[in-house]
Every structure is written in structure tokens, then in C-alpha cells.
Amino acid sequence: MRFFETDAGNSQPRDFLDGLPPKDRAYIVGDIAALRDYGIHAPISTRTIKGGGNRGMSEIRTGNFRTFYCFKYRVIWILHVCKKQDQHAGIEVARKRMQKL
């Protein structure tokens, strides 16, 4: 599993998680770890993102947060993490990041 990074080495998913209260961070990181350990059979709430250009992208739903990810080159890529109310913009950001992989 890898977190998306820019060419400059910045990682929005990592930075977002680091800025959360410990309880919220623990829940989200726990769901990401379940995905890493169990793959598509993980006991977490996920959904495939529909629409053009989103093929292969999914989201983990953790409370009021969304974690967008994809599988590429046999690696789980964490593309973007955001609050639920920001998820439409988050999908667009995640799509662009997925295209850069």
C-alpha cells in the first residue's frame, strides 16, 4: 500500500490524516489497514466510483470521511482523503492523481 505523493514528495492523504484528531485518524487508518490486509473482502464500507474516467477507483466510507483509492500494479494507492461534504471535489482530485500513476 502506498500514499499518493507529488513529484515534490508532498502527500495530501498523509497530511490530511496527520491533521485529524487522534480518534478520527485511528478509525480511518484502521479501515485502510483492513483494506491492506483483506483486500476487497475487508469488513469495511466501500463503494466503486461510477462515471467516466473513474474506472478502477473506489472509496472507503469511514463516518463522515471518504478515502479514495485504486489498485494499480498490484499496489493499493491511497489517492485522496476528505470530509464527506467535500467528496465531489475529492473525486475529481483523486481521478487526476490516479491518471498520474
pLDDT tens digit sequence for 57-92:
999 999 999 999 999 988 999 999 999 988 889 999
Average pLDDT over residues 8-36: 97
pTM of this structure: 0.93
In the chain the first and final C-alpha atoms are separated, in Å, by 13
18-40 burial, b for 16+ CB within 10 Å, e for fewer? eebeeebbeebeebbebbeeeee
Whose CA is closest to 80, among 90, 92, 70?
90
User: What does the domain layout of the chain look like in residue ranges?
Assistant: 2-100
Domain 2-100 maps to which CATH number in 3.40.1160.10, 3.30.2310.20, 3.40.50.12780, 3.40.50.2020? 3.30.2310.20
